[in-house]
Structure 1
Amino acid sequence: MTKRRTQMNLRGFQVFDAVARHLSVTAAAEELGITQSAASHQLRKLSDLLGEVLIERQGRSISLTDAGRRLADSLDGAFDLIEQSAAATIGVNRRMVRLALYSSFASGWMIPALPQFTEKNPDIDLRLIMISDPPEITDRVADVFVSSEPQRRGYWSTRLFRELLVPVAAPQFRQAFARPIPLISSDTDPVLTGKDWEAFAMLNGLEMSALREGAWRCCSHYLLALEMVRAGMGAALVPDFIAFPLMARGEVVRLPGDPVPTGLTYDIQVKYERRNEPDIARLVTWLRSAARRNRHKYGS
């Protein structure tokens, strides 16, 4: 007997899934390669078929209704399952593992350590994917995530390390803090400029007047602050894992003082049912052991 299926608007489900992820009909249409009017038509058709209002318009923005949120959650899992099943069926390379991570973690920690991983795991096709904050944690983006986001429902999580800011400077400033030097703040907001250094001074029982010389030198990212340090522009507080590789090469020096905890942590997140897949498990094990080795090596 021929199997019969109930009528389903699969294209409508696909369009709605994209709209739910972007909260934008325009962005969803661009992702799917269709016009905005075609996407809107599919949404109306799906809403009529289901007899439910799925999205609400609030000026130029949209939001999901309760029914829309329930459908979005269901479709997220369903599409993930379809993609995994299709990949397994048609023989897509299952040795490929996609690792999503922040730019600072990628360039400051992962890239310098990557040769160690590839040497020990030459058969794993590891692909790095940059994410912004807050990231979209889903199988459609990556298989493994390193982020500071709270653990998502349905995901297994393990901690790599907490974020600590350490003072660093170019080698010519090795004797810094014996006299004031220019200080670099990783925030351009006038209200927040220098707050990191104020926390450092308080933690270490120091006076700001004994640390800073001249005006603040500001930037909007730790990676920019580190480049300013390398250019000899002063001292900066940066996450210790970013400073580790440059310290090892003698390009920057660690200045005295206890590190400042930011309250952020870097955690691995993997979908619960995928945590024991061999290649994912190997990557997670290596990440954890590499993090421990770095902590032991640099003593932060």
Structure 2
Amino acid sequence: MEEKEISLNAVRAFVQVARDNSVTRASKTLGITQSSVSRHIAVLEEYFGEKLIERRGRQSQLTDFGRLFADAVAESLHTILYTAKRMRRNDRAEANRLVVRTSLSTFAYTLLIPNLREFSKEMGGVTVDVISSLSAPTSIDNFDVLLTRDLTLSDLDDHWEFYDEQLVCVGAPDCVAGRGLEALRTTPVLTVTSRPDILPTWLQAMDMKMSDILSGARYDHHFLALPAVTTGQTLLVAPDIVVAGLVRQGLLEVIPGSRTPSGMRYRAYAVDRSHNPDLARAFCRWLTRLCRKMTEEEKANG
């Protein structure tokens, strides 16, 4: 009788469940249905004749046998998947392509993406894919450069600090013209829930309290708040680098005396596992030059 072979897809599904402690989260990470993940687990449990996980509410806890198996195969599985991806991506079609992952969605929308044409031209027509995610990257994620403010990679990855975050208060010109900081007492200030640190940090630097301002509507991200502040009678405290383009276009105006550092720094990581490390480093250097130029121009313009 032929011995039944173990399924690599089933092993991958189990390892992801072990990492996430949840069938639901594992299914989202793998891009398959929860029922498919459950079937994979069932196949492995039938193969071993042992339970691998025990479900407790929404959590999936490993059994002792399951933990032993996960510890034994997780690293080897990562090596197999990474090696396969690297070999597949080293073909001619991918030789002039870069994958940039960022947790800075508004920065990507307002500054990075509009300037990518210049980088592509400088590098002889390179294609840059941009993906956004707020989650911490894993060892098998497929990207070459990480742009982030609060996520970190290992010390082995080359990194550049490309922007020292400066905060400004802005509003539509007809809303703030000639009013100064007193506008905050009568004009609603929008809140960005993905950056709850910004407003308290800025108010402290301005020697003000939340009670000194009029609270306005809430938005998840700055790129959602920007259309509201350009078209309404509201104010917004935001990184100057993400509103600079709208200020230059005359759609927003910076309240004089409202600029202050937040203490946050944006970093670009050229990851060690990149299929094109030289191109990844070139991108990080180009982005650093771009942001330095933008920052100097903003300072020169007051």
Alignment TM-score, normalising by the size of structure 1: 0.77
Q: Which amino acid aligns with 2:97?
A: M
User: Aligned to 1:267, what secondary structure does the other structure show?
Assistant: strand
| Aligned-pair Cα RMSD in Å | 3.5
Tell me the distance in 1 between the aligned counterparts of 2:239 and 2:13.
40
Distance 2:112 2:61 in 1: 36
**TM value normalised by structure 2:** 0.77
1:25–1:39 Cα contact (<8 Å) kept:
no
What's the secondary structure of 1:186's corresponding residue? strand
Equivalent position amino acid for 2:190 in 1: S
Structure 1: runs of 5+ lacking an equivalent: 1-6
Q: Distance in 2 between matches of 1:185 and 1:62?
A: 40
Bigger shift: 222-231 or 24-33?
A: 24-33
- Residue 223 of structure 2 is matched in structure 1 by 223
Aligned match of 1:109: 111
Distance, in Å, in 2 between the alignment partners of 1:289 and 1:63 is 48
Q: Indicate the residue corresponding to 1:97 in structure 2.
A: 98
Aligned to 1:35, what secondary structure does the other structure show? helix
Residue of structure 1 in register with 2:57 after alignment: 59
Residues 190 and 215 in structure 2, CA contact (< 8 A), matched pair in contact too: no
Residues matched between the structures, number: 284
> Matched residues in 2 for 1:215 and 1:18: separation?
42
Task: Give the Cα–Cα distance (whole angstroms) in 1 for the partners of residues 7 and 275 of structure 2.
Answer: 33
Q: Name the CA shift for 1:82/1:203 in 2 (closer, same or farther; >3 Å).
A: same
Secondary structure of the residue aligned to 2:31 is helix
Which residue of structure 2 aligns with residue 289 of structure 1?
Answer: 289
Q: 1:216 to 1:74 in 2, by over 3 A?
A: same
Give how far 1:182 is off: 0.9
1:161 to 157, 160, 163: 163
Aligned partners of 2:263 and 2:60: how far apart in 1? 33
In structure 1, distance between residues paired with 2:165 and 2:100: 20
In structure 2, what residue type is equivalent to 1:16?
F
String of CA shifts for 1:265-300, please: whole Å, max 9, x gaps.
321223225497232222122111112111211129
| Residues 196 and 73 (structure 1), Cα distance of their counterparts in 2 relative to 1, 3 Å cut | same
Change (3 A) 1:78 1:258: farther
SS of the residue aligned with 1:134? coil
Structure 2 gap ranges (5+): none
Instruction: Please report how far the alpha carbon of residue 242 of structure 1 lies from its aligned counterpart in structure 2 after TM superposition.
Output: 0.8
Cα drift, residue 254 of structure 1: 1.3
Deviation at 1:231, TM superposition (A): 1.0
After superposition, residues 145-160 of structure 1 pair within 5 angstroms as 145-153=146-154, 155-160=157-162
Whether 2:146 is the aligned partner of 1:141: answer no
Q: Does 1:280 align with 2:285?
A: no
Could you report, residue by residue, the CA deviation over 1:202-245 in whole angstroms, capped at 9, with x for unpaired residues?
42345777x74x55333332223322210132211011111111
Output one character per residue of 1:110-139: Cα deviation in whole Å (capped at 9) or x when no partner.
1222232223234211111121x2243445
Residues 233-244 of structure 1: matches in 2 within 5 Å? 233-244=233-244
1:27, CA displacement in angstroms? Answer: 5.3
Mapping for residues 162-241 of structure 1, pairs under 5 Å: 162-172=164-174, 173-177=176-180, 179-180=182-183, 181-187=186-192, 196-197=198-199, 199-205=201-207, 212=213, 216-241=216-241
Q: 1:276 to 1:219 in 2, by over 3 A?
A: closer
Cα displacement (A) at 1:253: 1.2
**Deviations, residues 163-218 of structure 1 (Å, cap 9, x unaligned):** 332111111122232643413232469xx98x855543442345777x74x55333
- Partner letter of residue 77 of structure 2? L
Q: Percent identity?
A: 21
